Structure 1
Amino acid sequence: MGLHIRTADRGFSTVAAEVPKPKKRRRRRRKTALPTRAPIIVTPGAADRVKSLLSTKEDAKGIRLGVKKRGCNGLSFTMNYVLDTPEDAKLTKLDEFVTCENGVVVYVDPGAMFNIVGTVMDWEETELSAEFTFNNPNSKGECGCGESFNV
């Protein structure tokens, strides 16, 4: 039988072992880009109405669409002018946008993108009202007056 002596001094090798180099992984590249879905679809009627609204406001270069918590059912659409100022340029820097056929630009707030994507924006005029309407495929329900929706 051999005698095994345990010492308090543990030694380490001063010679480094060769470590195999990691294998390079090949990344597969897509041959074609996937089509992207527009964040919002603006009908010609809505684009014409936005253009007429922008013509009355100096330095307006588009509108910004977003959502805000309000109404009876949770969320409501908001629309604001985007002016040609440094503050608005900074605000819309990360926004997605849609350029309509008539040159109107509709910006979409990044915080609202999840709730808005795929929405159709239209302008409807009746004998009693004239308003923008939003057909939102993400909406799970709306309040009776149509002011707000939930997703």
Structure 2
Amino acid sequence: MSVTLTEAAAKHVTKYLSRRGKGVGVRLGVKTTGCSGLAYKLEYADEVAPEDVVFEDKGIQILVDPKSMAYLDGMTLDFVREGLNEGFRFNNPNERDRCGCGESFRV
């Protein structure tokens, strides 16, 4: 089992946590929503919960709730800039289909 970060994602998270002045890393998960069924959740984490599955990549802790692990195993979190837009991109080998608006996915 693994969840990793690209160099760009690790740099962005490190910079944001430094500006924020606190935090241990990022928390990833999935929630039921949208037309395809599942959507990604991402938030900055201030502490590790006892039930979290913890990965460390490029000096960043990646926290995943156990229920989401089956959907996120093998995923790489990237940070991209396209023109004036920037944001995280979830490169997930378990993803089989995405809705037209890009907000939800199916495994």
Aligned sequence identity (%): 37
Q: Distance in 1 between matches of 2:56 and 2:76?
A: 14
Correspondence for 1:147: 103
TM-fit CA distance, 1:100: 2.0
Runs of 4+ with deviation above 4 angstroms: none
Q: Distance in 2 between matches of 1:136 and 1:99?
A: 18
Structure 2 residues not aligned, in runs of 5+: none
Q: Distance in 1 between matches of 2:86 and 2:45?
A: 22
TM-score, normalising length: structure 2: 0.89
Q: Which has the larger radius of gyration?
A: 1
Equivalent position to 1:50, from 2, 9, 13: 13
Correspondence for 2:56: 99
Contact 2:4 2:57 in 1 (8 A): no
1:66 to 2:32 alignment: no
**C-alpha root-mean-square deviation of aligned residues, in Å?**
1.4
1:64-143 alignment, distance < 5 Å? 64-84=27-47, 89=48, 92-101=49-58, 103-143=59-99
Report SS of the residue matched to 2:63.
Answer: strand
Larger RCO: 1 or 2 (CA < 8 Å, sep 6+): 2
Report SS of the residue matched to 1:56.
Answer: helix
Aligned residues: 107
Query: Normalized per residue, which structure has more strand?
Result: 2
